[in-house]
Structure 1
């Protein structure tokens, strides 16, 4: 039935641009210096005033009637190329290598896309940041960080320093799908959120979808962060690296077969524990506090029609002395690009992803008979073919499908005491998500473009051990504040317990209203079948991922966005401006009963509360693209709320990700070819929290207590911070070759003690009184020096 329905939809879409063409020209557009495919490069036919852009792999296709034409190839930061081409009625292949502009260091481009793509393109609520720009943003301890950079964009925030992940348009951390070469990354942070898992030396492209999400993406209800890795220099050996205060990094890329096969290997390792070791004694002498990661990729261009890629990421954080924990991500992606014809392109991907963590009271195995060990993980396996059919220069059809399996181990613990061992925790779960999609991007006229499609997803939940639970109403009590308990149901092993299917329509419109301005609108529906169980103010590496079940329904979000986009300036695109408004309606949102026990509790579902949510706001963005001074200003006015039965007197309340005002100012100034400077300023409204309104006294000590069901009745103080940096470029790098630079930075220049959270406790001098205590993760300015090199 699913195949028939999608087949009918495909048949309806296909004829929109089906016009017989006599000649098709296609090929790859690549960087002449390293052979990397250029994403979003523009190909334009002068005489016909039609064109297209390259896909994620640098592939393009154009079909026109026979004749003599001029093809113009352009991409920001590269010298424009023109080629005279004769279309004789036969299909042709034309591969182009573009050289970087010689003035690239003098004029910094904020993005890598065509300079007016923000106006002409169909996409809205989408941000791309070139890795060169990310490198110029002042960062904590001088280390380039992808996730911190996207938090400077409109609509993106975090609950505070030291929090894992990021929040988009009022959504939770788990509502963002983070992809690294198409494989999901479940924890995007190192060192409790201070650094991201993405090595900047291995990153090629970064794209964040906040709305108007195309039909090929699904699985999360707030955003998609799509990170593509570099493919390796196919021309020559290239070595990049950096030595910093916290960690050092090194990457090596080179051709295996020149212009046909190449590789890249990039590694990082922190050394806080090594530097601190001489000062640690006693029980702390064996303390471990570090993180490391390895990123690798190899590709082989078999022939003009076939290219294969294999990439992987392996990273881990370790923290503790005798008692401690560690966590990490592992991903492997294998992809095959195949050109069936000048019009039909295939990208087939299979991937493996594993996120796991360990909490162990006896890391050194010194007390095996008296220890506690807790493990958890989530594993994905998937196969996903994606097709692109270039019907005409004005019409591109995409379609594909995916099989995605989940294996959840929410939490298993082993406790040993005097040789007695006890095992407990939550049962394993598994699920399979099947999806298929079709979409069409159609330029109806020079003024109107549309992108529309549909995705269908189906999720089948199984309980691996042949047991599942149903909620049964009981009188509410301290033990059962939700008024439910769980009843165990026996089924045969691997039997289907719950099955959900969702249609997810997508639509986007671009109406050009002037030479350099456009109006855009979009709508999308998304479904999410995995959930992060966390009842703390900020997510931590020890939070539990779990499946949709017969009790936990899939999250559903419908989002509508409208926007105005205008470029202006002496050259028409020197400045970019945009204003977007959005409204997001969310179903099956999860909150938690007071004192809910989520970890290692096989009956945790009885403590869950369900309801709906809404998020709405306006985002303003101004960006300067060229000149010695570049950068942007973003401002977001937003509100995100929940309505959960049994909480806040059954009324709407702001949830923990609500930030009313968010202002970011980012600037880079190229003083000369030798010196450049950067600065960014952030101001954010404090997050909501619940302050105790009552207390009880036990044995002469006051214990603060929040009124039952209270949510977000006060906010922590506002957050603001200024960072600065200076970069000095050197003539030579290591061994007298290549180039290098010194980066001097100061994070939190004016020593602001930004609050991470506020909690209440008994007063030390008078235990009958309670007091509020403000916790700051970074309470002072942080200077740093980093040495970067390449040769």
Structure 2
């Protein structure tokens, strides 16, 4: 598994050695050489790395940005300069420095005493949306997210993301989110670089991310850097807090359905720290108070942990982990459980003032199952996906105008599609297990961020990926007409570790920015993405019964080419910002299913799969107010997402199940006074596409709905819209008291809209000859809530 990874590192070694020999901290440069200023930028209060903080030299009009670990590097001619360190919401520092040799200087910035409403939504410079080469990127500031209305008073990262342009969901109770017409499995979700395969609790009502443990949230919809791959639609990069290096800190909250608690403290002051954050819902505790429900269970919990320690001036070690689980049980009739487990170990090493290295090892497991505990139908059904990831990433700060990012990695996968065991000796079920599957994914990449002039900058790179589907196992080819179950033929046996099928791919990436003025710019991006693992789901929304499967000799990797063009403009000294983006995406090897496909415990699942093309295109409009007592944004997306698969819909294009023509979100926050903040959100979207019957027939006295012809997604459920309101009351500010508390009161679905999650058909009770459509709503009434949050 590691051979290509190690070979790549050996090829890099001569270059790394040459880079590392450049003048670094404490080394004397040549007389005519430039010198390098480098170090870390951190929060003065708690020692957290300030991701994206800026270092600027006005005299030369050059600067640098801190990476994900707060490290910066800036190469300058020898001389005396005023160095300015800035980060949004923090006091700027200006320091005169005379640079005659390379210098390491780490800086701690203190927060400004501003009202919460004045903190921007993104943790960046106010004009970063105009000046940065990045496009199709959104960052969320949790300070503002925590003031927004939330379901049952619980702050949720995924629900906040769904208020941004290009992001949607199929409705309440649906796990995951959809980006630019893609599926939920086409989003790469990383928690401290560990993949999360199901980022939801309670079937999508809450996300797995505890807001008390999260430091930075970044969503990338297009122009994805070459460092990332493996999914077609987006990257959601979530970074956990590192823990307070200065003093003990405790935060948490108590709500109607769950409570949270986070503890952070130094291991050794200014050298290391840790944070432990946990949540648990307690719906099951209330069920025990009801005699008829006392044997039922419905709860979830999660635990996030992270520690870091400075090993020396050039080395830092991080260890983080996540454990989350959902448990549902209806007495002795049914049980269901699912959960994620991750572990990440990272080693940062500064090879010299210009070269930063990060080596990461990751373990991630997602498992899910169901069963009947007792009786003659007792059984246990289990399935999982496990991966082991080792990678090395490097940042080489060549000049203030050029930064090279490069690295390599390998991921080893194991898949358990399904295993059923009898629950007891009298069970009617017999043991049944699908073969385990193994695969290895390799990657290597090179990416350059280049500033050509004050107006023109670019980021471009190339990713080389390769996927090996491995034995042991028996594989088949499948023959037959499209649209029908195919027949397995030509069986072949492979030994353990033998390559059954290999897929190499090149993935070019490029982003371009051209400044029209100090306050406006044009941007364009292109990226090719390849996805080697797939979520086999024959439902509109992701469910615990969906199965992850690798690319095989029959299932080819999914591919996508996306182009986006955008115009970005700020107004009134960055008080307002606006953008318009137009995108187009072509997808190959998209997976769909024959009518009536069986995706559960099917040894010949590939016989029921169909493959074809996909396309998505649209425009995203975004206006945001950043400053003043009233802040917020409006986003509107006009888009189309379609597929064409031979064997379905008469081989014609049809809208896929994630298509939504219109999607509108309005978010407003009003700082009424220093203690009260009012907020509201409104969402509107076109109903999801689905297949409705257009006729019926009678069979043994039953009226059965029927679909005439080969049609797919021929109707839509009614449009979705919802208004949420909230008010947050801050506790009194007392400089002599560390305890700070706040109350949040919210109303979810304020006008009780019964949004349709789905529509199903049945016979009318009073007139069996009449077929009626029934709207299924998950949350169809007003849901008030209150929660208390605290920190000290």
TM tier, smaller? over 0.9
1:109 touches 1:626 (CA, 8 Å); kept in 2? yes
2:478 touches 2:486 (CA, 8 Å); kept in 1? no
Q: Give the count of matched residue pairs.
A: 771
Write the deviation string for residues 535-584 of structure 1: whole angstroms up to 9, x where unpaired.
11211122111111011100000000000001111xx2111110000000
* CA displacement at 1:413 relative to structure 2: 1.1
Aligned match of 1:344 in 352, 355, 360? 355
Counterpart in the other structure of 2:294: 285
Counterpart in the other structure of 1:79: 91
Counterpart in the other structure of 2:62: 50
- Inter-partner Cα distance in structure 2 for 1:343 and 1:703: 70
Residues 241-640 of structure 1: pairs in structure 2 closer than 5 A: 241-281=252-292, 284-321=293-330, 322=332, 323-362=334-373, 366-367=374-375, 370-415=377-422, 418=426, 422-464=430-472, 466-473=473-480, 481-485=484-488, 488-569=491-572, 572-640=573-641
- Inter-partner Cα distance in structure 1 for 2:463 and 2:251: 41
Look up the SS of the partner of 1:340 in the other structure: strand
* CA displacement at 1:33 relative to structure 2: 0.8
- Inter-partner Cα distance in structure 2 for 1:543 and 1:576: 40
* CA displacement at 1:767 relative to structure 2: 2.7
- Inter-partner Cα distance in structure 1 for 2:624 and 2:742: 26
Query: What's the C-alpha RMSD, in Å, of the aligned pairs?
Result: 2.1
Look up the SS of the partner of 2:270 in the other structure: coil
With over 3 angstroms needed to count, the CA separation of the structure-2 counterparts of 1:307 and 1:6, relative to structure 1, is closer
Segment of structure 1 superposing worse, 121-130 or 724-733: 724-733
- Inter-partner Cα distance in structure 1 for 2:226 and 2:450: 14
Counterpart in the other structure of 1:154: 165
5+ residue gaps, structure 2, are 23-29
Look up the SS of the partner of 2:83 in the other structure: strand
Look up the SS of the partner of 1:278 in the other structure: coil
Counterpart in the other structure of 2:112: 101
* CA displacement at 1:486 relative to structure 2: 5.2
Look up the SS of the partner of 1:594 in the other structure: coil
- Inter-partner Cα distance in structure 2 for 1:181 and 1:420: 44
1:106 touches 1:673 (CA, 8 Å); kept in 2? no
Counterpart in the other structure of 1:731: 732
1:26 touches 1:92 (CA, 8 Å); kept in 2? yes
Aligned match of 1:114 in 114, 125, 142? 125
* CA displacement at 1:414 relative to structure 2: 1.9
- Inter-partner Cα distance in structure 2 for 1:21 and 1:754: 66
Look up the SS of the partner of 1:605 in the other structure: helix
With over 3 angstroms needed to count, the CA separation of the structure-2 counterparts of 1:371 and 1:286, relative to structure 1, is same
Counterpart in the other structure of 1:754: 755
- Inter-partner Cα distance in structure 2 for 1:5 and 1:62: 26
5+ residue gaps, structure 1, are none
Counterpart in the other structure of 1:186: 197
Write the deviation string for residues 640-671 of structure 1: whole angstroms up to 9, x where unpaired.
00000011111100000000000000111111
- Inter-partner Cα distance in structure 1 for 2:180 and 2:98: 49
- Inter-partner Cα distance in structure 1 for 2:70 and 2:427: 61
Look up the SS of the partner of 2:352 in the other structure: coil
- Inter-partner Cα distance in structure 1 for 2:385 and 2:760: 32
- Inter-partner Cα distance in structure 2 for 1:290 and 1:488: 45
Aligned match of 1:59 in 61, 64, 71? 71
* CA displacement at 1:134 relative to structure 2: 1.3
- Inter-partner Cα distance in structure 2 for 1:653 and 1:387: 44
2:9 touches 2:408 (CA, 8 Å); kept in 1? no
- Inter-partner Cα distance in structure 1 for 2:190 and 2:756: 31
- Inter-partner Cα distance in structure 2 for 1:330 and 1:487: 39
With over 3 angstroms needed to count, the CA separation of the structure-2 counterparts of 1:424 and 1:709, relative to structure 1, is farther
Look up the SS of the partner of 1:506 in the other structure: strand
Write the deviation string for residues 582-614 of structure 1: whole angstroms up to 9, x where unpaired.
000000000111100001011111111110000
Counterpart in the other structure of 1:38: 50
Q: Does 1:233 align with 2:248?
A: no
Given the two structures, how large is their TM-score scaled by the length of structure 2?
0.95
Write the deviation string for residues 155-203 of structure 1: whole angstroms up to 9, x where unpaired.
0000110000000000000000100000000000001100000000000
Given the two structures, how large is their TM-score scaled by the length of structure 1?
0.95
Residues 705-720 of structure 1: pairs in structure 2 closer than 5 A: 705-707=706-708, 709-720=710-721
* CA displacement at 1:4 relative to structure 2: 8.5
Counterpart in the other structure of 2:27: none
1:111 touches 1:133 (CA, 8 Å); kept in 2? no
Counterpart in the other structure of 2:25: none
